[in-house]
Amino acid sequence: MDLGKDPFDASALVQTPVSDPHIKAAAKGKINLGEIKNLIQLTPGTELGGVVNIDLNVNGNLSSIEKNQFDKFYAAGNVTVNNLVYNAAELPEKVQIKQARMTLSPANVTLSEFDCALGKSDLRAHGTLDNVLPFVMKGQTLKGALSLQSNYFDLNPWMAGESSELKAVPLPENVEFTMNSLFREVSYGKLKIQNINGVLVLKDRTLNLIDLNMNMLGGSVLANGSYSTPENALPRSFFAMKVAGLSFPQTFESFVTVQKFAPIAQSLQGTFSADFELMSDLDSTLTPVMKTLTSLGSLRIADAAIQDFKPLTKMAEALKLDRLKQLALVDLKPSYKIRDGRFFLEPLGFNAGNMAFVVSGSNGIDQSVDYSIKLRVPAEDMNSEANAVVSNLLNRKIDLLQNDYVDLVGNIGGSVTEPQVKFSAADVIKGAAAQVTSLLSQKAEEQKAAAADTVSAALAKQKEELEKMKQAAADSAKKEAERLKEEAKKKLRGLFKP
């Protein structure tokens, strides 16, 4: 038959489809899409062009492929695409495939070239698919490997509109796929992410992220983790992260988990580094189900400033100490855990100027707060109003000397937006040094050391599974390299046959 001005031949025959399918099929011809659009009805304004050349031939029993007896199954040919252009009203951007080439062999289908543009985005790929016919005919496991590269990729046009909201999609059970990626720059919402590279492994309904590196939010991120879609259950995610130099304001703006569990980040200026692990169920839009979220981590804050944080403002008003409204923070190392919808801060001691603090407690996704605070203030910072507050707590008049300090013990309750601050005790320390270590009680130290609980145990189990997957991926990559090396040797020997 003719497609436009070009001949196109195709045939297919399947015998004994149940016991052992024997497949004999062929297709050969040229498809000029610029002419094809005149033969079919397209939406007004649709742009279609380019040339597809097809030359494929298969002949043999499916069992030969299943037994890796590739010499008994004939499969050969290729498909090439040149300058394909497709643009339609239902697409957010024009699709252009400059060059693409797929080659068929008994063992696999090879994508040796793929150069594509999606609007301003570019994408290049190459890879292989193994066990294709057994997958199509009998639902056996499809295996493959793909490498993706891009200089710039903008996800936003493809995410616009209600219908394109991120949705949880069940991952296939019978697909094993490894993908290596290198994306120089990606735009996603307000996020600008650079130098994304790493490995994705799909197996047993689980997508594993292995050593995924990227630059974002002013710093760097190294992520390992998994996304799984078990049958008859919510999707589940696990991540082990190492971040360095991330901006507090950008991080707060970008992640709903930070907004829910660490609202203080909105009032912080500066950067932080952290090591943390996080596990959560996900809803139908891939948003974490907050009550199932568990996490354990530690941060390192070299230099930051906090201001306009309502609990601090309330403390300043209660103690008549305006200095508390804005603090410079240096060399902080907070540790935390999240469980049952609450963020728990382990006892944290630090100095801010010549004042010393110890803070511990929790806040919830309902914005409730429950924190204990110990504060040591030098006499030189105490004005007459502050002295009156302390005198009232002690039920006696105080007479502070220059080298004296005042110790205060209090609680912050209520909510983040409507905090309630109450100080229940005070003491005057004569000639003490404002060292935070002297404020830490033995009980607080014991609490800080007791981080190994059910949260860390659950996360440790996920981390162990991830390490197994990383090792399996490394072994698979090594095996694939050896296979390619052996194939190259065979081809080289074939060149010198008499």
Split at pLDDT 50, 70, 90, the class of 438 is low
Specify whether 241 is located in the same domain as 342.
no
Among residues 116, 138, 160, the one where a domain terminates is: 138
Q: How do residues 15-56 score in pLDDT, each as one tens digit?
A: 998 889 999 999 999 999 988 877 788 888 899 999 999 999
Contacts of 56 (CB under 8 A, 6+ apart): 25, 26, 27, 28, 76, 77, 78, 79, 104
Specify whether 236 is located in the same domain as 339.
no
Question: CA–CA separation, 185 vs 156, rounded Å?
Answer: 13
- Our measurement of the distance from residue 217's CA atom to the centroid of its chain's CA atoms, rounded to an integer in Å, reads 13
Overall number of domains in the chain: 3
pLDDT reported for residue 381: 83
Distances (CA, A) of 158 to 61, 166, 197, 423: 42, 10, 21, 54
- 164 assigned to some structural domain: yes
pLDDT at 2 over 70: no
Between the two ends of the chain, the Cα-to-Cα distance in Å is 42
Q: How do residues 58-74 score in pLDDT, each as one tens digit?
A: 999 989 988 888 889 89
> How much of the chain, in percent, has pLDDT values that exceed 90?
57
Q: How do residues 144-175 score in pLDDT, each as one tens digit?
A: 999 999 999 998 888 765 444 566 678 888 99
Split at pLDDT 50, 70, 90, the class of 460 is low
Specify whether 394 is located in the same domain as 296.
yes
Specify whether 187 is located in the same domain as 84.
no
What's the domain range around 204?
Answer: 151-254
Return the higher-pLDDT residue of 351 and 456. Answer: 351
- 84 assigned to some structural domain: yes
- 161 assigned to some structural domain: yes
Distances (CA, A) of 469 to 65, 234, 296, 465: 27, 22, 22, 6
Give the dihedral sign, CA 300/302/308/314. Answer: positive
Specify whether 196 is located in the same domain as 129.
no
- 374 assigned to some structural domain: yes
pLDDT at 441 over 80: no
119-134 burial: b if 16+ Cβ within 10 Å, else e: bebbbbbebbbbbbbb
Q: How do residues 162-219 score in pLDDT, each as one tens digit?
A: 444 566 678 888 999 999 999 999 998 888 999 999 999 999 899 999 999 999 999 9
Give the dihedral sign, CA 101/102/103/107. Answer: positive
Specify whether 373 is located in the same domain as 411.
yes
pLDDT at 498 over 50: no
Specify whether 306 is located in the same domain as 432.
yes
The encoded tokens of residue 403 equal 């080298």
Question: CA–CA separation, 201 vs 212, rounded Å?
Answer: 12
- 266 assigned to some structural domain: no
Contacts of 23 (CB under 8 A, 6+ apart): 12, 13, 14, 58, 59, 60, 61, 62, 133, 137
CB atoms within 10 A of CB 361: 19
Specify whether 195 is located in the same domain as 291.
no
Question: CA–CA separation, 363 vs 261, rounded Å?
Answer: 7
Specify whether 134 is located in the same domain as 155.
no
Return the higher-pLDDT residue of 19 and 429. Answer: 19
Distances (CA, A) of 258 to 67, 132, 439: 52, 43, 29
Specify whether 213 is located in the same domain as 348.
no
- 483 assigned to some structural domain: no
pLDDT reported for residue 286: 82
* Pair type for strands 142-150 and 175-188: parallel
pLDDT reported for residue 456: 61
Specify whether 163 is located in the same domain as 295.
no
pLDDT reported for residue 98: 96
> Among the ranges 22-26, 428-432, 478-482, which has the highest mean pLDDT value?
22-26
pLDDT reported for residue 424: 86
Residue-by-residue DSSP string for 471-485? HHHHHHHHHHHHHHH
**The whole model's pTM is what?**
0.79
Containing 283, the helix (H) or strand (E) segment is none
The encoded tokens of residue 286 equal 């891939």
- 124 assigned to some structural domain: yes
- Please, what is the average pLDDT of the chain? 85
Specify whether 190 is located in the same domain as 131.
no
Helix, strand, or coil (residue 211): strand
> How much of the chain, in percent, has pLDDT values that exceed 70?
83
Quickly list H helices, 67-165.
132-138, 156-159
- 400 assigned to some structural domain: yes
Containing 28, the helix (H) or strand (E) segment is strand 22-32
The encoded tokens of residue 298 equal 């530690």
The set of long-range contacts for 99-105, using a CB threshold of 8 Å and a minimum separation of 24, is 102/78, 103/77, 103/78, 104/56, 104/58, 104/75, 104/76, 104/77, 104/78, 105/70, 105/75, 105/76
